Amino acid sequence: MRRTLSLLAASAAIATFVPQAGFAESVHGLSMHGQPALAADFKNFPYANPDARKGGKITYCVIGSFDNLNPFIIKSLRTTARGMIDTIYGNLVFESLMQRSADEAFSIYGLIAKSVEIDPDRKWIEFNIDPAAKWSDGQAITPDDVIFTYEVYTEKGRPPYSDRMSKIEKIEKTGDLSVRFTFNDKADREFPLIIALTPIVPKHAFDKATFDQTTLKPLVGSGPYTVAEVKPGERIVFKRNPDYWGRDVPAKRGFDNYDQITIEYFLNTAAQFEAFKKGLCDTFTEADPVKRERGFDFPAYKNGDVVAESFKSGLPPVVSGFMFNTRLPKFSDPAVRRALGMLYDFEWANRSLFGGKYQRTVSYWQNSELSAYGVPASDKEKALLAPFPGAVLPEVMDGTYRPPVTDGSGQDRKVLKAAFELFRSAGYKLQGGKMIDAGGQPFGFEIMTSSEAEQRLAAIYQRTLEKLGIAVTIRALEADQIQSRKQNFDFDVLIGATGFTGTLSPGIEQIGRWGSSSANKPGSFNLAGVASPAVDAMIEEMLRAREKEDFVAAVRALDRLLISGNYMVPMQHNSEQWIAYSKRLKHPENTPIYGYQLPVWWDQGN
């Protein structure tokens, strides 16, 4: 009954607009802080080439499987076909009201919505739909489609789409091509931009009753491509829609240059790399510089048919490491997690596996002004953290914190001793060569891995942990099995990234990554199960910050909390963006701050 009442309330919030005075001025773009960099008459994004050749094809290769084409539902969320909406390959089928620029921290420009009007306090936003905007079946995009999108997401969608009506007071159709969102007190200053980036679905092409069911039937969207072929778990082929409405929208000029995009699926990285060497895949990324040196000696590379290139990104590195499931009692004590964090021997791994070419990852916004690493807390940060005494370690607060540095032997006794002292302070002891808790139970856990590289890293960690009597097992699973386990939080420790790329504009996605409200929500990215009032408060401060100084202070305070919480053991990073690709492919000369963007590359035809 509660769910029914909630849905009725959401539907009631969607009304017919009564004109009011005091409209804001119509603008072509929005920025989270300050003004968009591009003027209203801009022709294209600076990292896109509007004269790029149209035609040809590209094949991307990925690890895993797929059994669903609807990216907006919980069922098969982790095995939805790539490309339907995709941060790497582009939103090929579904689009949002506005488009994000990869050359600004967080600015958006018109797409389905040609322009917007927004209240100075961001209490409401009104979108003016481009009269040319159409679905792939030729029907016009209308405010009714926008309203339907929020109705169906609320009733049948997955997080975070299903939660967005909780911050919306009402949605109003204000004209034949305009729709206004009015927000309630739960919304923050970023939320209007999130609404602008929410993919829109066609009312006439979806049945609300069956929306939450998986499907392999090609779906109607507004994007530049349609689904041409589906081979479940193996291949999906997209073909250019010759009638795509948005080809001349400034935010899309120079994008979507191929006539055909194919995404092939492989069980593991080894099979993917073999396919690339044979020319079955057009791109291949490899983070490990040692593997690049050793593996790139095949004929296509030697004769120049394959090109390898490094790009510089202005983003903080993606944080990857050993993530603890803090929902489990064994990982609930921060002191235990801190001790475990001390036992990853970065120096040994960097020398033995990576040729000394990596840097240690410590901060969640490392190498940027948002990072707290090596920086004493400002007065603003201290004020924000004052209600949460003890939540930040003193050495993290004053900027002197450094992770332990070993002698690189893999058995540095001083680090082992320091970690053991932390275990002992948490009530553990060594007995018969095993780490035993206060109840006499041995301490141990399982690490899930999905590749040989992850298994090697887990083995390094396992070896050190066993020196303190901690029993660690390593379980190798296929990517789809791991995705299922992640969705249900069915793991002890996993290796992986925090779920998002590095960003200079952290926002509402941090709730999904670290917020208490997502800690036990199936399918969320809060894999560690973080449920901290202090973390929640810093995210809230970050979201409502109006001035850059306040924003930076809130993010740094959040960084200090995450470092001190030891929710994961960050490993290492290489700041280069490296990719190998077929010599047929060409990319623009300009690289944006978010690094290379595959959707603006093209097939040069020779």
What's CA 578's distance to the chain center, in Å? 19
Cα–Cα separations (whole angstroms), residue 188 to 181, 195, 540: 13, 12, 8
pLDDT of residue 444: 96
The closest of 541, 489, 533, 493 to 514, measured between CA atoms, is: 533
pLDDT of residue 293: 83
Low-confidence residues of the chain: pLDDT under 50: 1-22, 499
Tens-digit pLDDT profile for residues 429-468: 999 999 999 999 999 999 999 888 889 999 999 999 999 9
The closest of 288, 271, 239 to 92, measured between CA atoms, is: 239
The closest of 502, 470, 458 to 595, measured between CA atoms, is: 502
Residue 134 is classified by DSSP as: B
Count other Cβ atoms within 10 Å, centred on residue 176: 10
CA distance 344 to 322: 9
Question: Domains in the chain and their CATH numbers?
Answer: 2-45+95-210 (3.40.190.10), 320-573 (3.10.105.10)
Q: Reduced to 3 states, what is the DSSP secondary structure of residue 413?
A: helix
The closest of 230, 554, 247 to 378, measured between CA atoms, is: 554
Longest dimension (CA), the chain: 78
Residue 329 is classified by DSSP as: G
pLDDT of residue 508: 85
Percentages helix, strand, coil for the chain (3-state, rounded to 5) are 30, 20, 50
pLDDT of residue 501: 63
Burial 540-570 (b: 16+ CB within 10 A, else e): ebbbebeeeebbbbbbbbbbbbbbbbbbbbb
pLDDT of residue 500: 54
Packing angle between helix 413-425 and helix 334-341, nearest 10 degrees? 170
pLDDT of residue 5: 41
Q: Write the CB contacts of 211 (distance below 8 Å, at least 6 apart in sequence).
A: 70, 72, 73, 152, 155, 156, 157
pLDDT of residue 497: 63
pTM: 0.77
